[in-house]
Amino acid sequence: MTLIAFFVLALLLIASALVVITHRNPVTAAVALAFNLVAISGLYMVLDAQFIGLLQVIIYAGAIMVLILFVIMLLNLREEVKAHPAGTFQRILAPIASLLFAIVIGRAFWLSAPSSFPESAKDFGTAASLGKELFTRFYYPFEAISLLLIVAMIGAVLLAKRKVS
Amino acid sequence: MIDPRLVLVLSAVLLALGVVGVLTSSSAISILMCVELMLNAGNLALITFARIRGGPEAQIYVFFVMTLAAAEAAAGLAIVIALFRLRGTTDVDEINLLKW
């Protein structure tokens, strides 16, 4: 059962990622990315990490995708302009290099990872266990990341603000 | 049950697809979307490691990476808007103010 779910989700993930990187219309690419993010959340659920899976839907598929779609709407982008002639070399070389990259990393993973998951702990991936860790052992990183969010928010507002003349 | 190696290879493939997207697309927004793709591939690998090891640490890292991705998306898109206002395009080949 989980195996079927995994293969369906993996297929969805790769197909939607291909649409994201090949489609010229930014809105279609953004919707494919939303699909991709929801499929990854499904994969987290299959791997028993429910809380992270829910966060994935809320943060990525909710907040970040809305932000990206909103900016696309704001800039009124249509089809991406035709490929730059100087970039064709890069366009041919990039997939080859990335394929080699995937083979190297995939092989390293394949050789080093165990072939089956151990039995998961009872509180693995629950909001309670993660919250306890977050507010005890990882308290200072948590505060630092909240500071980072505020800085990013102020920076985004300053950057995107129209200059008052 | 699933083979963890399969999940890890899937995350490597997704990362490579994200790299292809970053290298080949010319619109800044497409590049940002491909960066999100790559961050997610990394998160997937981290969750798999968390499941192999059984502890909460790697899941906390995923939580931090998600927060970082949100900050990156907000700042990146704000830069894209500012650039669009300045140059009237989001094509990264056209934006070469700092290029020698």
- For A2-80+124-160, CATH number? 1.20.120.1200
pLDDT tens per residue across span B69-78: 999 999 999 9
Global ipTM: 0.91
Q: Do B21 and A155 touch (CB under 8 A)?
A: no
Specify if B93 maps to a domain: no
Q: For residue A128, is pLDDT > 60?
A: yes
Specify if B99 maps to a domain: no
Q: Do A155 and B78 touch (CB under 8 A)?
A: yes
CATH number of the structural domain spanning residue B25: 1.10.287.3510
Please indicate whether residue A78 or residue B7 has the higher confidence score (pLDDT): B7
Q: For residue A49, is pLDDT > 70?
A: yes
Interface test with A, best of B11, B20, B62 (most A CBs within 10 A): B20
Assign A35 a pLDDT band (cuts: 50, 70, 90).
very high
Smallest Cα distance from B97 to chain A, Å: 17
Q: Closest residue of B to A5, CA-based?
A: B2
Environment class of B54 (CB within 10 Å of its CB; exposed 0-12, middle 13-18, buried 19+): middle
Specify if B65 maps to a domain: yes
Q: Do B93 and A86 touch (CB under 8 A)?
A: yes
A62-71 burial, b for 16+ CB within 10 Å, e for fewer?
A: eebbebbbeb
**Chain A residues touching B11 at Cβ < 8 A:** 109
User: A144 touching B, CB under 8 A?
Assistant: no
Specify if B94 maps to a domain: no
User: A118 touching B, CB under 8 A?
Assistant: yes
Please indicate whether residue A38 or residue A163 has the higher confidence score (pLDDT): A38
User: A143 touching B, CB under 8 A?
Assistant: no
The pLDDT score that the predictor gives to residue A139 is 94
Mean pLDDT of chain B: 89
Full residue range of the structural domain in which residue B28 is found: 4-87
C-beta contacts of B80-87 below 8 A and 24+ residues apart: B80/A71, B80/A75, B80/B28, B80/B29, B80/B32, B81/A71, B81/A74, B81/A75, B81/A159, B81/A160, B82/A159, B82/A160, B83/B28, B84/A75, B85/A162
Enumerate the domain spans of chain A. Answer: 2-80+124-160
Number of domains in chain B: 1
Which of A37, A121, A134 is nearest residue B40 as measured by Cβ atoms?
Answer: A37
Q: For residue A84, is pLDDT > 70?
A: no
Handedness of CA B47, A35, B69, A138 (dihedral sign): negative
Torsion angle, CA of A115/A119/A122/A125, rounded to 10 degrees?
0
Specify if B60 maps to a domain: yes
pTM of the model: 0.90
Specify if B92 maps to a domain: no
